[in-house]
Amino acid sequence: MSKIKTAFFCQQCGYESAKWSGRCPSCGQWNTFVEEKIQKDIPLRNSSWKQPELSSAADNIVNLSEVSSTEDERLITGDAELNRVLGGGIVPGSLVLVGGEPGIGKSTLFLQNALQLSQITTLYISGEESAQQIKMRADRLKIQNDQFFLLTETSTQTIFQEIKKLRPQLVIVDSIQTLQSPFIEAAPGSISQIRETTAEMQRFAKETHTPVFLIGHITKDGAIAGPKILEHMVDTVLQFEGDQHYAYRILRTIKNRFGSTSELGIYEMTGYGLRQVTNPSEILISQREDQLSGVAIAATMEGMRPMLVEVQALVTQSVYGTPQRTATGFDLRRLQLLLAVLEKRGGFHFGVKDVFLNIAGGIRVEDPAIDLAVLCALLSSYEDTAIGSKICFAGEVGLSGEIRAVNRIEQRIAEAEKLGFDKIFISRYNKQGAHSGKFNIEVAPVGRVDEVYQQLF
C-alpha cells in the first residue's frame, strides 16, 4: 500500500507548499492554507478520455509558417447577446468559464441556449441538480430539442466514458466545483480537484475541437471560486451579474482570447426564462412625466454598443459634521474628484453638503465619458433646477475643469438621435469627429465646465 501524499494549498491563489504557513508567499493572504491529499504517480492520468486515433498526433512539432491561419467557423447561437460577449459566436475547441452569484440565473441561461441549439448534439452535465429538476426547468422554458442529452454525474472518468459513446458537439458542465477526478484524493471543490478537472476538460476541448462551458461558483468576495490559475487556463471568462431584486441581468466579458473584453449582454429574467434586451437604453432611462432636478442622461459605450444611462444625484445640507459621499454604480473616488473640480474651479460649496449618486437600472459604468453627465446632475440638484429631458451629455472632465474628447462620439450621437433627444453636449475637441450636418440632433460643443453651467442654468 502506497503512502498517502499530502500538500498544503492556498485557497486564494492555489499556491502549493510542502508545509503549512500562516501567510501565502504568492498572494500575501493570511490563514488560507489547507491540507489536501494528492496522488501523482498514476501513469494513465492523461489518457482517461483520449480516442486511440488522436494520441499519435499530440506531440508533433510544426513550423509556424506551415500552420494555417484560417479560423474555424464559429457556432452561432440563437442568443445575440451571448454571441456578442463571445466575440461573434462559440469557437470550436474553446473553454469558457462562467461565474455568478447563486440564484442569478447561470443554469437557466445555458440550459435555455443549449435547448435552442437544435442543429447540434449537446451534452449537459449536472453535478448539482437531478434530472427531474432540470426537466422541470426545461418545461418552464417551453423549448423542445431532441438533440439535447443530460448526464447527472460528478466523476470525470464516467463522464469521459459517456462522451466517447455520445460524441457531443457542445458540452456544458454545471458546475466545475462539483466534479471529481479519480487521480486526486482530495474532496470535490478543493483547489487540487478544481485544477485537475479543469485541466482534463481543457485537454478534451483542445484535442477534439469541442467547445466546453464550465459554470462556476463565486466566493463571498465576488471572485470565481478556486485557484487564480483557473482563469489563466480557460480561453474566455464571463461574469453573470445583477441584483436579485431587479429583473435585469448583465453578462460581462472578463477575459476573451477570441474577441473584445469590453462587451456585455443584457437580459431580463421572466417566468419563461431570460429575455434578450436588444435596446438597453430604454430600460436604463426611467419613464417620468415631471421634470425633476438632479437627473442627467449620459451617452456611454460598453464595448461596441452605445447606451444611454440615467444619472441621478441628490445634494442636501449636511446634518452631521462630516458630509456623506455615497455612489451606486459609479466609482466613489471619481465622484470625489468631480466634487473637488466643482469646488475649486466653480466655487460651489460641496464641502458642507451630503452627496448621493446613483446610476439607474442597477448597472455599473466605468466609461469616463459619463463625467459630464455626473457633473451636470450634481449641479442640477445643487441649484434645484431640472435639466431638460431631451438633453444628454458625453464628455470627460479634467482636473482643470476642461471637457476632454471621448472616443466613438459619432455612435453616441447617433444613439441619442435614435431615442429622440434634441440636444447633446460634447467636448469642443470632439467636433472634428462629429459633423453636425450628418445628424438631425443639435450638437453643442463646449470646452469648459462653466460654459455648460451658463447654457443650462
With contact defined as beta carbons under 8 Å apart, do 262 and 303 qualify?
Answer: yes
- Quote the CA–CA distance of 260 and 136 in Å, as a whole number: 36
Q: Beta partners for 212?
A: 95, 171
The type of residue at 273 is: G
Q: Which of 292, 286, 310, 291 is nearest to 358 (CA)?
A: 310
Report the DSSP pairing between strands 325-328 and 305-317: unpaired
User: Is residue 426 marked as binding?
Assistant: no
User: Is residue 224 marked as binding?
Assistant: no
Q: Which of 9, 43, 88 is nearest to 304 (CA)?
A: 88
User: Is residue 127 marked as binding?
Assistant: no
Distance of CA 256 to the CA centre of its chain: 11
- Quote the CA–CA distance of 139 and 133 in Å, as a whole number: 10
- Quote the CA–CA distance of 276 and 373 in Å, as a whole number: 27
- Quote the CA–CA distance of 289 and 417 in Å, as a whole number: 20
Residues whose CB falls within 8 Å of the CB of residue 388, separated by 6 or more in sequence, listed in order: 291, 422, 423
Tell me which H or E stretch contains 161: helix 156-166
Residues whose CB falls within 8 Å of the CB of residue 203, separated by 6 or more in sequence, listed in order: 46, 49
Which of helix, strand or coil describes residue 111? helix
Which of helix, strand or coil describes residue 260? coil
User: Is residue 100 marked as binding?
Assistant: yes
Count Cα neighbours of 212 within 13 Å in the Cβ-side half-sphere: 29
User: Is residue 409 marked as binding?
Assistant: no
Q: Which of 46, 189, 210 is nearest to 123 (CA)?
A: 210
User: Is residue 102 marked as binding?
Assistant: yes
What does the radius of gyration of the chain's CA atoms come to, in whole angstroms?
A: 26
DSSP letters along 365-433, please?
Answer: ---GGGHHHHHHHHHHHHHT-BPPTTEEEE-EEPTTSBEE--S-HHHHHHHHHHTT-SEEEEEGGGGGG
User: Is residue 103 marked as binding?
Assistant: yes
| Cα-Cα end-to-end distance for the chain | 84
- Quote the CA–CA distance of 399 and 419 in Å, as a whole number: 32
User: Is residue 87 marked as binding?
Assistant: no
Q: Please give the annotated binding residues, written as ranges.
A: 100-107
Q: Please give the annotated binding residues for ATP, written as ranges.
A: 100-107
